[in-house]
Structure 1
Amino acid sequence: MLKVAIIGTGAISAAHIGGYLRFKDRCQIVALCDLYPEKAEAKREQFGLNAKVVKDYKELLEDGIDLVSICMPPFVHAEVTIDFLNAGSHVMVEKPMAASLEECDAMIEAADRNGKMLSVIAQNRFRNPIMKLKSVLDSGLAGNILHAQVDSFWWRGHCYYDLWWRGTWEKEGGGPTLNHAVHHMDALLWMLGRPSEIQAFMSNVAHDNAEVEDLSIAMLRYPNGSLGQITSSVVHHGEEQQLIFQGQHARISAPWKVTASVSRPNGFPERNAELEKQIEDLYDKLPDLPYEGHTAQIDNVLGAIETGTPPLIDGVSGRSTLELIMSIYKSASTGSKVQLPLQPDDPFYTQEGVKRNVPYFYQKSASVENFSDQNITTGSFAEKK
């Protein structure tokens, strides 16, 4: 029976707690920690947990915790992760992995040195449409991918950035490019690998109480010449999110849709119904996951600990996603095209370098400790569109 601690009991912690409770025969939540202990007490009561509540996570470092879920703001992810890895715990940390690539490297080094597992939350990989899309891409039926389109569309009200740690480069680390599109970028990297060149723009068009961007658009070039685009936003009504891949033979996407074309003698398109059916049949035959979202990733991490095998999403994966994000920030901040990979001597490798080089769109004008309404949206992909 693995002993689990939840560090940070804000809104997203409910997804972790609920996930662990699905596997009561494999793990037990023994501790909750929050800077505001009353929040942890509320979670303990809500879920009926027999768990210790503490204000300072360091009180748990000598408790023999097997696995820790870190659900805190990004600016403290590295410190807390490294402390628990050094104490002998495995760690699952919420997205984004950290506030800088320098911190990511320190976290990975600590995991390797201590022989412990480090996993970064990317729960959208564990959804049926994403898993199935990955399998269809890997089948090659769509052909070589020529263009990728990622729409990370979210909507957040003006007061969203009033929360004390949000809306600043120092504490939140960025806007939707870092904190919302991170899931879609993880999926894109998983499916297509790392691009070689980035050109990006960003702005703050609707949240004058935040230093960070609320909208960015990035253009990607891959080593084989194919192109991609990523829009990261908290100004899009409807929160419609999608990943679209245009292959040589067909277009496939999440939410799921397939369209295939062949050329008529004059070069104009004609529907390739046979290929569409072949791809649809493959998609429909793929099995559904036994769990989805956070619960599925928790299952994967528990299994990795139990069997000694790597988790699907490790620290290297989390770092790769942050590298893409920092490349977008660098291009949007400097107006230059950015080559990947980013090197340790790059200003955007460190948190201090990022803070010195990004634009500060507005001064944070409000600060509240907590919201009474803890309901949040985490995005989803419909099974078929």
Structure 2
Amino acid sequence: MSVRNVAIVGCGIGRNHMLEGYNNHRDRFQVLAVCDLNEERLNKFADEFGIPRRTTSFDEVLGMADIDIIDVCTPPGVHYAMVTAALRVGKDVICEKPLVGNLAQVDEIIAAEREARGRVMPIFQYRWGDGYGKAQHLIRTGVAGKPYLATAETSWFRGPDYYAVPWRGKWDTELGGTLLTHAIHTHDLMTGLMGEVATVSAEIATRVNTIEVEDCAIANLRMQSGALVSLAVTVGSFEQITRLRLCFENVTMESTLSPYNPGLDPWKFTPRDDAAKARVEEALRDWQPIPSRFQGQMGAYADALDSNGPLPVTLADARRSLELLTAIYHSADSGTRVTMPISGDHPKYRSWRPTDQAA
């Protein structure tokens, strides 16, 4: 196993990367540098974790020859520029969600990665948890059977204080609303269990806060399998929950209500009969616990780097996530049902902004 040198850019969500991820894998990662425009926050972060280098200059980070990985944890509006710059100087890159602000930029990064020495791993830390892992296992092994229907609910609360941060709530800097910033995780889990999306019909609204972007949304999906899925999203729920409920031929699955860790146990698995119950129990009999969230994703990332194997989350995964988002925005804007996939000739390929918010 190799120890790789990391620079964290952005001390907000970057603190979770450090606390849950790198701190739990000190034999595999060494955080040598941290970068943030806010010097007070930068110094507090570096002091807390004993990070030897601190800078407000991303260009300085790019020039650090001994840095192997640049971990981009900045506001979304600068992800594209930072990821592409890091690839150009030969670094491996980790990038928080959302990766970028439109499908054209995703495709440009995919093309850049093909020519680069480094690779890009988008962050989807909610995929790591025993409940979600068991659900995936039951589906992949065929125990669950035919998918029928699923519901995915992201009901969180974000008020004026949250949107007082200057970059939030604006198309130019946040790149979207609650669909992009909050529900993106829930929807990634849902597609991970229910498969590829075929068609999308959606509505969005701004009802909770005085902001540019949406803070409520609903969508109806038909999956390629023929299964139906409904999505509901709001930041106007005083009781915060994330919930996935999936109905398959042989078992019904339901997540916990934990808003920020729905992948954790205990998920509820309800078999259709005694025979299905026996198959579920047998499939899960020797289940080995997996680390959750950033600890799980960073561990899997280190394994992939050591083996030069596929990354645990890929640019294709990020594209799939943003393709669904693009379809939701286009359906809501046009009042039509959108058919997947979305290619370069689609009207929202280069911008998913609603028509009345076009730059």
Q: TM-score, normalised by structure 1?
A: 0.85
Partner residue in 1 for 2:251: 250
The AA in structure 2 aligned to 1:355 is R
Counterparts of 1:119-198 in structure 2, within 5 Å, are: 119-198=121-200
Partner residue in 1 for 2:294: 294
Could you list the runs of 5+ residues in structure 2 that have no partner in the other structure?
Answer: 257-266
Counterparts of 1:76-91 in structure 2, within 5 Å, are: 76-91=78-93
**Is the Cα contact below 8 Å between 1:142 and 1:252 reproduced in 2?**
no
Partner residue in 1 for 2:325: 325
**Is the Cα contact below 8 Å between 1:198 and 1:218 reproduced in 2?**
yes
CA distance in 1, matches of 2:285, 2:190: 22
CA distance in 1, matches of 2:284, 2:329: 36
2:353 aligned to 352, 355, 361, which one? 355
Could you list the runs of 5+ residues in structure 1 that have no partner in the other structure?
Answer: 262-271, 361-385
The AA in structure 2 aligned to 1:292 is S
**Is the Cα contact below 8 Å between 2:195 and 2:225 reproduced in 1?**
no
CA distance in 2, matches of 1:286, 1:92: 29
Task: Quickly say closer, same or farther: Cα 1:161–1:280, change in 2 above 3 A.
Answer: farther
CA distance in 2, matches of 1:170, 1:345: 23
CA distance in 2, matches of 1:300, 1:103: 26
The AA in structure 2 aligned to 1:113 is E
- CA deviation after TM superposition for structure 1 residue 74, in Å: 1.0
2:46 aligned to 26, 44, 47, which one? 44
- CA deviation after TM superposition for structure 1 residue 347, in Å: 2.4
Alignment coverage as a number of residue pairs: 344
| 3-state DSSP of counterpart to 2:240 | coil
Counterparts of 1:1-385 in structure 2, within 5 Å, are: 1-10=3-12, 12-18=13-19, 19-50=21-52, 52-64=53-65, 65-208=67-210, 210-255=211-256, 256-261=267-272, 272-283=273-284, 285-289=286-290, 291-351=291-351, 354-355=352-353, 357=355
CA distance in 1, matches of 2:204, 2:337: 14
Deviation digits for residues 257-292 of structure 1 (CA, Å, limit 9, x no counterpart): 12234xxxxxxxxxx244235424533532111x21
**Is the Cα contact below 8 Å between 2:216 and 2:235 reproduced in 1?**
yes
- CA deviation after TM superposition for structure 1 residue 356, in Å: 5.6
**Is the Cα contact below 8 Å between 1:329 and 1:358 reproduced in 2?**
no
CA distance in 2, matches of 1:155, 1:169: 20
| 3-state DSSP of counterpart to 1:149 | strand
CA distance in 2, matches of 1:280, 1:169: 47
CA distance in 2, matches of 1:280, 1:254: 18
Task: Quickly say closer, same or farther: Cα 1:86–1:246, change in 2 above 3 A.
Answer: same
**Is the Cα contact below 8 Å between 1:258 and 1:276 reproduced in 2?**
no
The AA in structure 2 aligned to 1:63 is M
Q: TM-score, normalised by structure 2?
A: 0.91
**Is the Cα contact below 8 Å between 1:32 and 1:40 reproduced in 2?**
yes
- CA deviation after TM superposition for structure 1 residue 190, in Å: 2.1
The AA in structure 1 aligned to 2:283 is L
Task: Quickly say closer, same or farther: Cα 1:279–1:122, change in 2 above 3 A.
Answer: same
| 3-state DSSP of counterpart to 2:81 | helix
CA distance in 2, matches of 1:216, 1:355: 15
CA distance in 2, matches of 1:132, 1:162: 39
**Is the Cα contact below 8 Å between 2:195 and 2:224 reproduced in 1?**
no
| 3-state DSSP of counterpart to 1:39 | helix
Fraction of identical pairs, as percent: 28
**Is the Cα contact below 8 Å between 2:76 and 2:100 reproduced in 1?**
yes
The AA in structure 2 aligned to 1:276 is K
| 3-state DSSP of counterpart to 1:76 | helix
Task: Quickly say closer, same or farther: Cα 1:129–1:329, change in 2 above 3 A.
Answer: same
| 3-state DSSP of counterpart to 1:313 | coil
- CA deviation after TM superposition for structure 1 residue 157, in Å: 2.0
CA distance in 2, matches of 1:67, 1:348: 32
Query: Does 119-128 or 56-65 show the bigger shift?
Result: 56-65
| 3-state DSSP of counterpart to 2:138 | helix
| 3-state DSSP of counterpart to 2:25 | coil
**Is the Cα contact below 8 Å between 2:333 and 2:354 reproduced in 1?**
no
CA distance in 2, matches of 1:198, 1:21: 40
CA distance in 2, matches of 1:150, 1:297: 22
CA distance in 1, matches of 2:227, 2:150: 8
CA distance in 2, matches of 1:196, 1:24: 42
CA distance in 1, matches of 2:41, 2:112: 30
- CA deviation after TM superposition for structure 1 residue 179, in Å: 0.9
**Is the Cα contact below 8 Å between 1:300 and 1:312 reproduced in 2?**
yes
CA distance in 2, matches of 1:43, 1:358: 40
Q: Which runs of 4+ in 1 moved over 4 A?
A: none
| 3-state DSSP of counterpart to 1:6 | strand
Q: What is the CA RMSD across the aligned residues, in angstroms?
A: 1.7
CA distance in 1, matches of 2:131, 2:221: 23
| 3-state DSSP of counterpart to 2:131 | helix
Task: Quickly say closer, same or farther: Cα 1:358–1:195, change in 2 above 3 A.
Answer: farther
- CA deviation after TM superposition for structure 1 residue 49, in Å: 2.1
**Is the Cα contact below 8 Å between 2:153 and 2:242 reproduced in 1?**
yes
